[in-house]
A = this chain, B = another copy of it.
Amino acid sequence: MIRNEVFSCFVFYGVLLVMKMYVIAIVTGQVRLRKKAFANPEDAMRHGGLQYHREDPYVERCRRAHLNDMENIFPFLLLGAIYSLIGPSLPVARLHFLAFSVARVLHSVAYLFALRAPARSLAYIVGQIPCFSMALQIILAVAVYA
């Protein structure tokens, strides 16, 4: 499977996207420390006292960016893996993976820097196009087994 070129191409982008999500997690943690805004009392106690057990708008923004990644990147990981197995041409498949990846990086940038609307929504929509395309092609390929 790992010798399948399309699958390996998917793996490359899929793992980069997972690492992009880890970056958002790390950013969230750093913002919590810098802004002193902790979700758990035990963390607040370690960093100055219970008054820091509180919400912060930018921490919440980071969390929404992370949650939106989970809603969209995790499904891509399934769709991309299976799409790789139904025999697409490498250039077409790479275009799907690359378009999704670039769109999701832009989505994160638009979210974390609070770019003016509709920058973030456009990135989201562009990212969904390769996903719908892959989902449709997969369904057509396996519908006979339903």
Hey, which bits of chain A sit against chain B, CB under 8 A?
1-2, 5, 8-9, 11-16, 18-19, 21-22, 25, 39-43, 45-47, 61, 64, 66, 70-71, 74-75, 77-79, 82, 85-86, 114-118, 120-121, 128, 131-132, 135, 138-139, 141-146
Identical chains bound together, number: 3
Given A1-B1, A2-B82, A25-B71, verify A40-B61 contact (CB < 8 Å): yes
Residues of B close to A120: CB separation below 8 A: 40, 42-43
Q: What is the minimal beta-carbon distance from A91 to any residue of chain B, in angstroms?
A: 12
Closest residue of chain B to A87, judged by CB? B2
Please, how many angstroms separate the alpha-carbon atoms of A2 and B138 in the complex?
10
Given A2-B86, A22-B128, A85-B2, verify A138-B11 contact (CB < 8 Å): yes
Check if B139 sits within 8 Å of A16, measured CB to CB. Answer: yes
Given A2-B85, A145-B9, verify A14-B78 contact (CB < 8 Å): yes
Picked from B12, B13, B71, B146, the residue with its CB within 8 Å of the CB of A9 is B146
